[in-house]
A and B are shown apart, each in its own frame.
Chain A
């Protein structure tokens, strides 16, 4: 173990995904906390998409807080991006709008893995009798493949954290099931569901604990840059690492993603600096 990572460092799906993506990027972003505000993508579209996605998420959150749909429709209609109103109307017309049971929107859960906090902020947790579901609202331009989503750290971290927060790994819950549900506002009829059970959570735990332990064991120089230099085209540290010079278009990234089934770029990588 090195002392690069402080004992209170909180792991999450996004920083673990970043580590998978490029160890050096993890080091620069989360350990060195280096602010390096070069462009991630060369166009404004991706930023507009993300901002519209954030506003859509807020409307859905407000829906689950109990606001009248008519009032929220007026807010959605007032949004400068017309897609937000369309997405919200699609949501209201879907079964997602009338989910039953105990509903916890935008809830943060934390557990401890390998001695470190591991947190998951879920869009919605539904506990309806024995049915427990984690919902994730998406506004992607292209429908991701099930295999891509299954490989994502999010699909493992969220069920693991929730299963531990709800004590589902204990004896007596052998048949317990968690559903991770990805609902795409642009593809409402094609909900992707990833169920998981006790055996899966044990597997996820081993996998994530191994990742965390690996991170904890690395020395500074062992956080090496990814050998796949194509990935540097959409990394803000590319000039710091003296790799690429110019950012690529966000559409190229999505196409690359779809065609080659590459690991998805961590969404938080697109957060603006500041």
Chain B
């Protein structure tokens, strides 16, 4: 028995464990009802036969953690008897291995050449090549959007067509027919369609395989191929598919076809979830798998929340007919002791409450999550700083951040520009001075300015590092280091691939004595991230650019500067250390599926708790399988969507809360704006009802 397994499984869990009597099982129920734990018991039984292999399929890596932990406890290496995958990773690997099948279908213009896989960032790079000339011609003129968001929304449309399973040639028409608004705006959807068509054509001409093409090639060519079927059938005997509701319909279609050839299948569906609908998640499509399974079980118990929290959840699901008591509210909801006017006061109050919890007997063992729709850098910094001052360890879940926000990466980019004067990229005087202070040990900003010499106030830019300006105020060793760095940069070969240049800059200079990366482990990680980002960018380029590494490096740096390559995806899905407080965006927390004792909901007045991002060029619902083609998306639909979204979020959070929720807001938010969103109204209604009930009215 391992620590992660339930000690006394209930009847549903015991049945789920039995893969012989329940070989094809659909298990549904709310979060925290012991479904994943039951699947671990089933896996334990399957593992008793070492000859058979199991695929664990999850929609997102963060949801695989219980399975990883289980295998770790058993001392089983992943990949031998058990493989843990997302469908996206499986698709990507299979396309690469079975490329000859795709080649024989002659879909691409150079079918026998290697495919060049695109990431989201490199897809945007190529989309920009198509969209920018269109903008110059006056297309997309009714839309005001930052360029990156424009590119990403067009790419999102293409992905949705593949994930949902409709031809990409119908995107414009589907969006247009659902749109209510000025007739002039309708033109933009034909521009979107035009960009999508051109992008797909460009990919096929150049062996570029973006995410949408990966899915289409897998579903339309690979899956039905006999050689592929023989391989995949031999690979896995058993399937455990957790959180099927968070996957798009194409995954459900594949599973539906796969079911008959598997020895056993367990599909786990979370009720009232589907948080990733903006990424194509379709709980309704997931439910269609139920009737294809031989058996179906439903769980209703909650193994996490206290009874009062469960009562609160029931009440909030049907507030109209609920009569909450003041006692219930006192037990389950915490509020600030005073009215908070400004956001910093809110942060102080959060810190104070956490200090109080920590001081309670056993309080230092309690798990706490601070949740808000979005986490800005300033919120992250302020909160972690104030918590650390009271001795609380903080763990931050940040799905992505910009490459250039990392000071190490920014320094490397600036130094790369100085090593490649032919690029003729200007660096601001201030950025150059900051980069030097980040690179050279002992150098401060004032002395960095002195080294760079005077600058022209009307043109405060540099294209090359000047010879160090001697000054009595600069110690000679600092001048030596600067000169050494400058000489090294000037002596580098512009034709050297950028990742190799960065690696040498790191190893030969910046990690040596006298420079700030010496012994600094974070600098190693950041440098590796930039190198990897370039490597991915570089392999998507055509051969002529790959052969001219100077141009490839220049294109990469320009793409970063323009924000095209911005995301830095970090593997920050680790289990929260026991004594730390987690700070996370609400949606990321829900997809982490890790219960806590106390939740702090910040900015409950924010509309971000339920509203989707403004996306004028795409629409997750209109492009879903559940939208009737031709139907218009009205304000009522938007309202209903928001309400359903809020319900789902509240319910999902309470299912993952053991003891208490702290609902905090300030009169003015971080940006100094008053907010009065629906979640605030929900709480106000709840209190009014409780007050009425207390006063006997």
Contact = CB atoms under 8 A, between A and B. Distances in A.
Contact of A71 (B72, B103, B524): B103
Interface in A63-94: 65-67, 71-72, 74-75, 77-80
Contacts of B529: 274
Interface in B516-565: 518-519, 521, 524-525, 527-529, 531-532, 535, 543
Nearest to A51: B539
A239 B511 contact: yes
B104 A110 contact: no
Contacts of A175: none
Nearest to B71: A8
Contacts of A39: 500, 503-504, 507-508
Interface in B70-93: 71-77, 79-81
A79 to B, nearest CB: 7
A112 B50 CA distance: 13
Nearest to A118: B77
B587 to A, nearest CB: 27
Contacts of A66: 227, 230
A122 interface: no
A274 B110 CA distance: 29
A23 B503 CA distance: 23
B99 A110 contact: no
Contact of B80 (A61, A72, A108): A108
A116 B74 CA distance: 10
A117 B75 contact: yes
Nearest to B69: A8
Contacts of A37: 502-503, 506-507, 524, 527-528, 531
Contacts, number: 123
Nearest to A63: B100
Contacts of B388: none
Contacts of A61: 97
B440 to A, nearest CB: 16
Contacts of A112: 75
A107 B175 CA distance: 47
A253 interface: no
Given A44-B500, A67-B100, A240 B511 contact: yes
Contacts of B502: 37
Nearest to A39: B503
A197 B429 CA distance: 70
Interface size class of B (residues with CB under 8 A): 35 or more
A79 B114 contact: yes
Interface stretch (A210-218, A241-249, A262-270): A241-249
Main secondary structure of the interface of A (DSSP, over half): loop
A80 B543 contact: yes
Contact of A35 (B114, B497, B518, B525): B525
User: Top 8 A-B pairs ranked by shortest CB distance?
Assistant: A38-B507, A274-B532, A78-B112, A8-B72, A110-B80, A273-B528, A37-B528, A239-B511
25 contacts: A8-B73, A8-B75, A37-B502, A37-B503, A37-B531, A38-B506, A38-B511, A44-B500, A62-B100, A65-B98, A66-B227, A71-B100, A72-B100, A74-B112, A75-B99, A80-B114, A108-B79, A112-B75, A117-B76, A119-B79, A236-B507, A272-B499, A272-B532, A272-B535, A274-B535
A58 B97 contact: yes
Nearest to A44: B500
A65 B525 CA distance: 38
A273 B98 CA distance: 26
B524 A35 contact: yes
A6 interface: yes
A38 B518 CA distance: 12
A115 interface: yes
A36 interface: yes
A101 B104 CA distance: 28
Contacts of B531: 37, 272-274
Nearest to A67: B100
A179 interface: no
A34 B524 contact: yes
A140 interface: no
Given A65-B227, A74-B112, A110-B80, 6 more contacts: A36-B521, A38-B504, A39-B507, A71-B103, A110-B81, A239-B508
Interface of A: 6-8, 10, 34-39, 44, 55, 58, 61-62, 65-67, 71-72, 74-75, 77-80, 108-110, 112, 115-117, 119, 236, 238-240, 242, 245-247, 272-274
B82 to A, nearest CB: 11
Given A75-B100, A272-B535, A117 B528 contact: no
Given A36-B511, A37-B528, A246-B508, A10 B112 contact: no
B468 to A, nearest CB: 22
Contacts of B524: 34-37, 240
B469 interface: no
A246 B80 CA distance: 39
Contacts of A58: 96-97
B114 A110 contact: no
Given A38-B506, A272-B531, A116 B75 contact: yes
Nearest to A274: B532
A115 to B, nearest CB: 7
Given A71-B103, A75-B112, A274-B529, A240 B519 contact: yes
A66 B396 CA distance: 48
Contact of A110 (B73, B77, B499, B525): B77
B556 to A, nearest CB: 14
B512 A239 contact: yes
B341 interface: no
A61 B99 CA distance: 12
Contacts of B75: 7-8, 112, 115-117
A273 B532 contact: yes
A78 B110 contact: yes
Nearest to A59: B100
A245 B512 contact: yes
A72 B463 CA distance: 49
B135 interface: no
Contacts of A116: 75
B381 interface: no
Given A8-B71, A78-B110, A119 B532 contact: no
A108 B511 CA distance: 37
Q: Select the residue from A75, A115, A246 with max chain B CB neighbours within 10 A.
A: A75
A79 B207 CA distance: 13
A147 to B, nearest CB: 31
B403 to A, nearest CB: 13
A74 B103 contact: yes
A35 B75 CA distance: 25
